[in-house]
Amino acid sequence: MIKVIKMPEPLIKAINVKKYFPVRMSFIRSLKGEEQKWVKAVDDISIDIYPKEILGLAGESGSGKTTFGRTLIRLIEPTAGSVIYKNVDIFKLKGSELKNYRRKLQIIFQDPYDSINPRLTIRDVVAEGLLVNKLVSKDKVDEAVASALEDVKLTPPEEFINRYPHELSGGQRQRVAIARALVLKPDFIVADEPVSMLDVSIRAEVLNVMLDLKEKYGITFLFITHDLALAKHMSDRIAVMYLGKLVELADSEKLIDNPLHPYTQALIAAIPIPDPTAKKAEVKIKGEIPSPINPPSGCRFHPRCPYVFDRCKVEEPKLKEVEPGHFVACHLYDKP
């Protein structure tokens, strides 16, 4: 379990969350009695997320970051575990009760060209959640939409409210997606790679809007990204995932300046620096992320780890606090 000293009550408390997806099997194979295989996308993750923080969730493709993010707000039904939000386990909620919580837990998807209905005007896109949840009376809808658009710097709002998504740039669309989440006055937003589809020059405005919203409304974010430089820029703390497991968690500056897990070290060393005089990245680790269907025994990183020793091959390391607020799951830091 994670213990934190002198921290406020967590807003979201994930406890032993697991999500396994069944691997499709042919009828013949199931008749033969072959064992059902599972993709262990999220395998026993516990983490506390504190009010008004941006928690960066980093990792390569296939590490389970998106599945974990979606499971946290129950867009995906979990296999096991619980998520406590305001003393309630949201995995146990049903019907209208769940609907009330959904409003508070929102998401921004990766691709703003896919996640916004092209047939709706910006007003209808942003207002839909308001109307579904009956949050404002019909005559107040425009006002609420306009104020959300202002918050995401789509100003003046009257210039955008009647337009269609195809008339907007990628960055503007992504800000519409943020406004759509924002009108519901959420406590927690999962931002799943919100700028990876956008051109470099327009990323900054989307990121700056998110930072502003955190300050203005105290919204808590889970910021999912594969880019550690971006995670450092945006987040208060960073969690690193590898093959469905959490391998390291710390304050963002600390994690980048003093990474402990060999995987985090490799990730940071691999990032190219926009400066031709910088030392070129040397890649110490070989190969690519293995399949989550049949993950390596012991520590899942051991086949690629430059510091592997016998214990790593048999015993799975637990996430342990090695310095205040700095957690790592690695036998190197766990002298028995």
Please state the closest distance from residue 204 (CB atom) to another protein, in A.
3
Distance of closest approach, residue 36 Cβ to another protein, in angstroms:
23
Nearest C-alpha neighbor of 53 from the set 194, 238, 195, 185: 238
The distance of Cα 168 from the centroid of its chain, to the nearest Å, equals 26
Q: Does the footprint of another protein cover residue 268 (CB under 8 A)?
A: yes
Closest contact distance (angstroms) between CB of 182 and another protein is: 20
Which stretch, 144-152, 203-211, 306-314, 319-327, contacts another protein (CB under 8 A)?
Answer: 203-211
294 touching another protein, by CB under 8 A: no
Q: Which of 204, 309, 313, 323 binds another protein (CB under 8 A)?
A: 204
Neighbours of 150 (CB within 10 A): 13
Rule CB under 8 A: say whether 205 interacts with another protein: yes
Question: Which one, 76 or 229, has the nearer CB to another protein?
Answer: 229
Give the C-alpha distances (Å, rounded to integers) separating 266 from 194, 293, 294, 301: 24, 23, 23, 11
User: With respect to another protein, which residue has the nearer C-beta, 144 or 239?
Assistant: 239
Residues 219-238 close enough to bind another protein by CB under 8 A: 226-230, 232-233
**Nearby residues of 259 by Cβ (< 8 Å), 6 or more positions away:** 248, 265, 267, 268
**CB within 8 A of 227, min separation 6: which ones?**
58, 196, 271
- The whole-angstrom separation of Cα 89 and Cα 270 is 39
Where residue 201 falls (left for φ over 0; alpha for ψ -120 to 50; beta otherwise) is alpha
What are the beta bridge partners of residue 58? 225, 240
Q: Of 71, 290, 267, which is closest to residue 298 (Cα–Cα)? A: 290
The closest of 203, 210, 158, 171 to 189, measured between CA atoms, is: 210
- Cβ nearer to another protein, comparing 186 with 194: 194
Q: Looking only at residues 12 through 71 of this chain, which bind another protein when binding is defined by CB under 8 A?
A: 60-61
Q: Which is nearer to another protein, 67 or 106 (CB)?
A: 67
Is 202 a binding residue for another protein by CB under 8 A? The answer is yes
139 near another protein, judged by CB under 8 A? no
Candidate residues 2, 76, 93, 207; the one interacting with another protein per rule CB under 8 A: 207
User: Which SS3 state, helix, strand or coil, does residue 242 take?
Assistant: strand
Q: How far is the CB of 256 from another protein (least distance, A)?
A: 6
170 or 303: CB nearest another protein: 170
Residues 167-196 close enough to bind another protein by CB under 8 A: 169-172
- Binding mask 270-289 toward another protein (x if CB under 8 A, else -) reads xxxxxxxxx-xxxx-x--xx
| Contact between 239 and 58 (Cβ < 8 Å) | yes
Interface with another protein (CB under 8 A): 60-61, 169-172, 199-205, 207-208, 226-230, 232-233, 253, 256, 266-278, 280-283, 285, 288-289
